[in-house]
Structures are given as C-alpha cells and as structure tokens.
C-alpha cells in the first residue's frame, strides 16, 4: 500500500484524489489519508503529489504513518 505522510499536513492540493482509480483517499485531521485495504498499489498518485507526501509503505520508518492512515480512513 501507499501511505500519506507529514508533507500532506495542511496541503490544499487534491491531485492525488483525482487520479486514484479506486477512490481510496479519505480526509483525516489536517491531511488526507489512504485506506490501506482499498489501495491497489498502482503508484499513480505518488508522482502526482505536489508535496511529495505519498510514499510506498516498503520505505523504512513509515509505521507510524501507516497506522494513522489506517485509523483515519477507517472512520468513514
Ligand atoms: Fe490510489 Fe493507486 Fe495511490 Fe493506492 S497507489 S492510493 S490505488 S492511486
């Protein structure tokens, strides 16, 4: 899955939401999040993010962000 990280906080761009083929972006507190169980790992959103906030969860140190994406996307 892909994960939205701190660069997204207070970002006003929605480019990622528009390109996601499965509509798995949700609004968290001050930022967008990706629902890990809906994300199909296509990678389309990563280069579209002007804030470079979206990363694959295979990168190190993203556990906290993955948890937060999971938590906020589950509230919908
Ligand atoms: Fe959506 Fe693809 Fe990005 Fe996952 S990787 S959030 S499916 S655009």
Question: What confidence tens digit (pLDDT) does each residue in 15-60 have?
Answer: 999 999 999 999 998 999 999 999 999 999 999 999 999 999 999 9
Phi-psi region of 56 (alpha: psi -120 to 50; beta: other; left: phi over 0): beta
- Tell me how many degrees the CA angle 44-73-38 measures, rounded to the nearest 5: 45
**pTM reported for the whole predicted model:** 0.95
Q: How far is the CA of 40 from the centre of ligand 1 (A)?
A: 6
Cβ of residue 17 lying under 6 Å from some atom of ligand 1: no
Tell me, in angstroms, the distance from the centre of ligand 1 to residue 34's CA: 8
Alpha-helix runs per DSSP H in 1-76: 15-19, 45-48, 63-74
Q: Which residue has the tokens 């990622």?
A: 16
Q: Is 40 left (phi over 0), alpha (psi -120 to 50) or beta?
A: alpha
In this prediction, does ipTM exceed 0.90? yes
């Amino acid at each position: 899955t892909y994960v939205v990280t701190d660069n997204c906080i207070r970002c006003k761009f929605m480019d990622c939401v528009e390109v996601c083929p499965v509509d798995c972006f949700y609004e968290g507190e001050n930022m967008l999040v990706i629902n890990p169980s809906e994300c199909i790992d296509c990678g389309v959103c990563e280069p579209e993010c002007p804030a470079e906030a979206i990363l694959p969860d295979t990168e190190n140190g993203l556990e906290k962000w993955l948890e937060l994406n999971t938590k906020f996307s589950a509230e919908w």
